[in-house]
């Protein structure tokens, strides 16, 4: 059995939305692309046909991957969470004493990360150090450079 991954409600919904789009829109578009390319003639020298068939393989591989991810997903149940402690789904405002700067991170499952938008994985060095901590705690993050962090605020994304 595949490893179970943790998702926020939003992250899990994004997986379902992508699967729905691929199955109900992209597969049909690709069928038309293949049909159009096939009409161009000799398939042995038809690059449009080769590209459309390659895209078909990518689409079906991603559909299989998404189905597997959805089947093995564990969605965070907000009603069971101690909202005073950091967990997946928490939005955390930090003061980095090492860099003398404030940061805000949204802790998400590993497949939802988007560092450019402040979404960091619960399995990243900072994410692992934050899980279970609470407002006012000071933590040390070990990595390429040791960082001293003070947790200024913890809230849930759905508040």
Tokens in use for 144?
Answer: 């390429």
DSSP string, 35-50: HHHHTTS-GGG-HHHH
By three-state DSSP, how is residue 80 classified?
Answer: helix
Give yes or no for a contact between 128 and 120, defined as CB atoms under 8 angstroms apart.
no
Domains of the chain: 5-75 (1.10.287.180), 79-156 (3.10.50.30)
Question: What CA–CA distance (Å, rounded) separates 142 from 159?
Answer: 31
pLDDT at residue 144, rounded to an integer:
79
pLDDT (tens place) for every residue of the chain, 159 residues total:
567 888 888 889 999 999 999 999 999 999 999 999 888 777 777 788 889 999 999 999 999 999 999 999 988 877 777 788 999 889 999 999 989 999 999 999 888 889 899 999 998 999 999 999 999 999 999 877 888 999 999 998 765
Question: What CA–CA distance (Å, rounded) separates 31 from 1?
Answer: 32
Q: Give the burial class of 23: count Cβ atoms within 10 A of its Cβ; 0-12 exposed, 13-18 middle, 19 or more buried.
A: middle
Question: Model pTM?
Answer: 0.70
pLDDT at residue 1, rounded to an integer:
54
Closest CA to 151 of 104, 116, 87: 104
pLDDT at residue 142, rounded to an integer:
84
């Amino acid at each position: 059995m595949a490893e179970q991954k943790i998702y926020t409600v939003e992250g899990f919904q994004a997986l379902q939305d992508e699967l729905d789009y691929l199955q109900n829109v992209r597969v049909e578009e690709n069928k038309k692309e293949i049909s159009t390319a096939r009409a161009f003639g000799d398939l042995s020298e038809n690059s449009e046909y080769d590209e459309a068939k390659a895209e078909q393989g990518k689409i079906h591989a991603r559909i299989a991957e998404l189905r597997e991810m959805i089947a093995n997903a564990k969605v965070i149940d907000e009603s069971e969470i101690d909202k005073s402690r950091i967990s997946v789904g928490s939005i955390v405002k930090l003061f980095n004493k090492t860099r003398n700067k404030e940061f805000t991170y949204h802790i998400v499952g590993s497949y939802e990360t988007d560092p450019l938008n402040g979404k960091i994985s619960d399995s990243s060095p900072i994410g692992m150090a934050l899980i279970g901590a609470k407002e006012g705690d000071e933590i040390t993050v070990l990595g390429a450079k040791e960082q001293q962090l003070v947790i200024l605020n913890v809230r849930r994304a759905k508040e």
